Amino acid sequence: MTSASLSGRTVLVTGATSGIGYETARQLAERGATVLVHGRTAEEAQAAADRLIATAGIDAARLCAYGADFTRLDEVEVLAHRVIEAHPHLDVLVNNAAIAAPERHTVTADGNEVAFQVNFLAHYLLTCLLEPALTSDPGGRVVNVSSSLHRTANIQWSDPNRARRYSRLAAYAQSQLALTVFAADPRVTAVSLHPGVCETSLRPLYAHEGDSAAKGAAHVVRLCDPATEIVNGAYYDRDERVAPAPAATENRSVQRLNKLASLLVGHTA
């Protein structure tokens, strides 16, 4: 199947140095998009870009490397400002970066449980700050790479850090539910997606084996394509649109989450 060209489109992929993020960057660039490759450090992002140039024959002019450690919200702010300066028009933001919650309860320098910050709060802040670039032309969209585990979760509104009762699986699932709820926010058209269980560093949370990261990435890329019509707040399991957990579509949840997130990132978005 020959895929339509995405030339002229600019896409930022967070967590693009390995796994689904790296494969998403590769597939987008192969189809002609300009891809902003995000990694935890500028060096890691550049190494991923160099690998794409060397192994996939991607034109270096179509890749831009950016570093930002999502355990530090000030680095997320710097990333957003640098992206807007260089790319005042952004077609797609793929919120993909994610970590498995650690065994022990861990809090970032910003005071948030680490999985909640890396998997959700950093993306919340980044999306809010990039809103001017994503809405500079009609058709800008956000693709949140979430997880089917969001269905097992609840958001602990009074203790989002889960300081009182911590379980790594519950912390990870909460971060994915928050990301899924956030897709229903009306500011920028957004969808969320469970890309399937893939062979990535997160696979042990799910199963003994999984699909290739490239297969998971293909589902992400499909939602980046303007030819794929999307509805704000929609949730996809691979390439099928399905209903997310009930909380993800409740207006009250969306408003509560916005309030909580803007408080935790120290921004009134």
Can you give the pLDDT at residue 267?
63
pLDDT for 40 equals 97
Token couple for 180? 């899924």
Query: Choosing from 66, 124, 172, 235, which is the catalytic residue?
Result: 172
Return the amino acid letter for 237.
Answer: D
Residue 198 has a pLDDT of 59
Q: Label the pairing between strands 10-13 and 34-39.
A: parallel
Q: How many residues can be counted in the chain?
A: 269
In this prediction, residue 249 has a pLDDT band, given cuts at 50, 70 and 90, of confident
CA nearest to 120, candidates 166, 174, 161: 174
The pLDDT assigned to 1 comes to: 41
- Fill in the amino acid letter for 234: A
Q: What's the predicted TM-score (pTM) here?
A: 0.94
For residues 172 and 150, what is the distance between their CA atoms, to the nearest angstrom? 9
The pLDDT score that the predictor gives to residue 44 is: 98
Token pair in block for residue 251: 């207006």
**Strands (E) located in 16-62:** 34-39
Question: Which pLDDT score is estimated for 212?
Answer: 81
The Cβ of residue 70 has, within 10 Å, a number of other Cβ atoms equal to 26
Segment 173-177 shows an average pLDDT of: 94
Element (H, E) at 193: strand 190-194
Amino acid letter, residue 262:
S
Other beta carbons less than 10 A from residue 89's beta carbon: 14
Express each pLDDT in 95-124 by its tens digit: 999 998 899 999 999 999 999 999 999 999
Closest CA to 32 of 6, 51, 52: 6
Axis-axis angle for helices 168-182, 122-134 (nearest 10):
20
Q: How many Cα neighbours within 13 Å face the side chain of 145?
A: 32
Query: Residue 169 CB: number of other CB atoms within 10 A?
Result: 13
In the chain, what is the greatest distance between 2 CA atoms, to the nearest angstrom?
A: 52
Whether residue 172 lies in the annotated active site: yes
